[in-house]
Structure 1
Amino acid sequence: MGLAFDPANYAAQLAEKRERLCSLLAPYSAPEPEVFESAPEHFRLRAEFRLWYEQGQPHYAMFERGDKHKAVLIDQLPIASKRINDLMTPLLEACKADPLLGRKLFQVEFLTTLSGEALVTLCYHRPLDDDWDAPAAALAQALNIQLIGRSRGRKRVLERDYVVEELEVAGKPWRYQQIEGGFTQPNGGVNQHMLGWALNAAGENTDDLLELYCGNGNFTLPLSTRFRKVMATELSKSSVRSAVANLEINQVENVTLVRLASEEVTQALTGVREFRRLQGINLSDFNFGTVFVDPPRAGLDPATLDLVKGYDRILYISCNPETLAQNLDELNNTHRITRCALFDQFPYSHHMESGVLLERR
């Protein structure tokens, strides 16, 4: 259950999260966490709304977790970016006015950026054909957005299915292709704090970095400046495509990108299996001194835990402090926490991101 939206109480909620993280990390003698707060309003760059129809008229709606029958009708969402809020009313009014846009429309998804771009996906319970394109193109031009139509098994893209974000890390701008439906950090301001902290914690290195779960290269790009070479791994095909594009956009040339799951990386590095996807890549050319991990909520699996313990330094970003603590039960035998941080990606909820730097004892 989420916490109530109350900017006046934001500092108290953040303090509670800090205490919770300190409690979870206390058994491992962690230092005081560096705390990176969020803007109290308009911090979320993504939002998804179902449409709820009353007397034939659509309204944006959200639902309590686990109850899809009791709709809360809204016309603004203060945690969402100002760009999303500015788009909500004119977009819905246009869909009400034109049956080609509004008929059997059941969901609207927004993806915005700190750089000002916006992509909107309209989801339908009917097939889309060429008739949809003209009014959709007019709407996209009027609102200065990228617009996509989705129906079962179909996706109509007018111009492109991504936005380009620009983030500043340690004074340097980085550009990111963020594709519709792909994972991106929802809180752009806090994401910049995370990237800056990771860069600072990594320090300057003359050896190489192994990165697991690299996604679209969110951390890969800035971290590439702190190591001789980087081998970054990711399983999702769409994330790999975006990561390749982002390396090219930013002219990063010291990163080798490999589409492997974390357990496959373990098998490759330990010589258990050979992978066709590694053809042309000589693993012995790498001298990994640091491993960077940003795993899913389940944390690191046992095989990956065994792998990362083999490196002198482990930089671990976690979206679930409970599974981070479980992993630390094992990692604490070989490594000690020298830095830790709390990143408040999700104000007014119990979720939080954290980071630890572990160094060999």
Structure 2
Amino acid sequence: MGLAFDPANYAAQLAEKRERLCQLLAPFHAPEPKVFSSQPEHFRLRAEFRLWYEQGQPHYAMFEQGDKHKAVLIDQLPIASKRINELMTPLLEACKADPMLGRKLFQVEFLTTLSGDALVTLCYHRPLDDNWDAPAQALATTLGVQLIGRSRGRKRVLERDHVLEELTVAGRQWRYQQIEGGFTQPNGGVNQQMLGWALEAAGDNEDDLLELYCGNGNFTLPLSTRFRKVMATELAKSSVKSAVENLAMNGVENVTLVRLASEEVTQALTGVREFRRLQGVDLSDFNFGTVFVDPPRAGLDPATLELVKGYPRILYISCNPETLAQNLEELNETHRITRCALFDQFPYSHHMESGVLLERR
């Protein structure tokens, strides 16, 4: 993605994605999908570049998919945020000028936000020590960014290892801590649209929400306004830590956050196992009417599929429409699709995100 950048073809590519999604969902009599397009340029908030050295001088490089040996040298990336493009040249020039910053530097990672915050990670094939800190701090101050240095087994954080994002959903602003190296939605504009669609699909409810794969609370925060209570689950410790911070930062008090894998949630809710991580959580106090899932590319595993079928409504965000269609073959037995959407998180690639609301037949 990015090497075949052509804004003139964007509308045609999006139409092809819509047609592919419609074909995949046709067996389940899905309604017409609502299509959420991306900005054609400067939409990607994250980017990482390998450095390619020619005559001892570093250049940003990208590679065609499947070919890690033929570098395409670049100095700007139109799909990346304007902030990333602003930082690319002065950052590289500073690393060329100071051996303490540039020696054995092999990768640069950018994480930016819609709100203007930026974090840059410099990755090295050499150990980092205190001597790196002073020039790195000077560079961070000059560029107005957070700066992190990484080498094998070491991570040097000058100030903080996260950015702060602000997203507006249905007229309300939400603040998110986004950790370096953690998962965040790369297309901030489409993410806002995706959150808005999920909020509208959820509607207003007097019962509770069960959320699996909650990550840093991207969906959890706005969805918490539409339910009496929420139990949100996530396994990755770094994501749970950010989710806790995000709930507190936004004053959300009706969410119970539990560090469990989806299969463990199934075991807990069906009484198969008890978990120490659920101590103090009274599962009988929840009345789940809706389950929200945003699974990895592999989709829902068989046990989780069986679990979600037990709830009146399933709100399913998918990063892989093929595995979504596979899951729907089973979910269609008990539920019908009442809403459908396509979110173009990844323009100029075959990837797309989609969403469906399923309601019990």
Q: 1:153-208: CA deviations, max 9, x gaps?
A: 00000000000000000000000000000000000000000000000000000000
Counterpart of 1:222 in structure 2 is 222
Contact 1:345–1:352 at 8 Å: present in 2 too? yes
The Cα shift of 1:2 comes to 8.0
Counterpart of 1:41 in structure 2 is 41
The Cα shift of 1:142 comes to 0.2
Q: Distance in 1 between matches of 2:296 and 2:351?
A: 13
Q: Which runs of 5+ in 2 are unaligned?
A: none
| Counterpart code for 1:144 | G
Contact 2:2–2:78 at 8 Å: present in 1 too? no
Counterpart of 2:275 in structure 1 is 275
What is the correspondence of 1:1-361 to structure 2 with a 5 Å cutoff? Answer: 4-361=4-361
Distance 1:3 1:338, change over 3 A: farther
Task: Please identify runs of 4+ aligned residues in structure 1 that moved more than 3 A.
Answer: none
Contact 2:33–2:339 at 8 Å: present in 1 too? yes
Q: Helix, strand or coil: the match of 2:88?
A: helix
Contact 2:3–2:64 at 8 Å: present in 1 too? no
Count of paired positions:
361
Q: Distance in 2 between matches of 1:27 and 1:120?
A: 45
Contact 2:214–2:233 at 8 Å: present in 1 too? yes
Q: TM-score, normalised by structure 1?
A: 0.99
Contact 1:3–1:350 at 8 Å: present in 2 too? no
Distance 1:270 1:211, change over 3 A: same
Q: Distance in 2 between matches of 1:284 and 1:2?
A: 49
| Counterpart code for 2:280 | G
Q: Distance in 2 between matches of 1:45 and 1:118?
A: 9
Contact 1:204–1:227 at 8 Å: present in 2 too? yes
The Cα shift of 1:68 comes to 1.4
Q: Which runs of 5+ in 1 are unaligned?
A: none
Q: 1:250-290: CA deviations, max 9, x gaps?
A: 01000000000000000000000000000000000000000
Q: 1:211-247: CA deviations, max 9, x gaps?
A: 0000000000000000000000000000000000000
Q: 1:114-144: CA deviations, max 9, x gaps?
A: 0000000000000000000000000000000
Q: Distance in 2 between matches of 1:133 and 1:291?
A: 46
Q: Distance in 1 between matches of 2:69 and 2:12?
A: 33
Q: Helix, strand or coil: the match of 2:281?
A: coil
Q: Distance in 1 between matches of 2:231 and 2:320?
A: 25
| Counterpart code for 1:103 | R
Q: Distance in 1 between matches of 2:280 and 2:181?
A: 31
Q: Distance in 1 between matches of 2:102 and 2:132?
A: 10
The percentage of counterpart residues that share the same residue type is 90
Q: Helix, strand or coil: the match of 1:79?
A: coil
Contact 1:36–1:343 at 8 Å: present in 2 too? yes
Q: TM-score, normalised by structure 2?
A: 0.99
Q: 1:77-126: CA deviations, max 9, x gaps?
A: 00000000000000000000000000000000000000000000000000
The Cα shift of 1:69 comes to 1.1
Q: Distance in 2 between matches of 1:107 and 1:165?
A: 24
Q: Distance in 1 between matches of 2:38 and 2:151?
A: 35
The Cα shift of 1:65 comes to 1.7
The Cα shift of 1:66 comes to 1.9
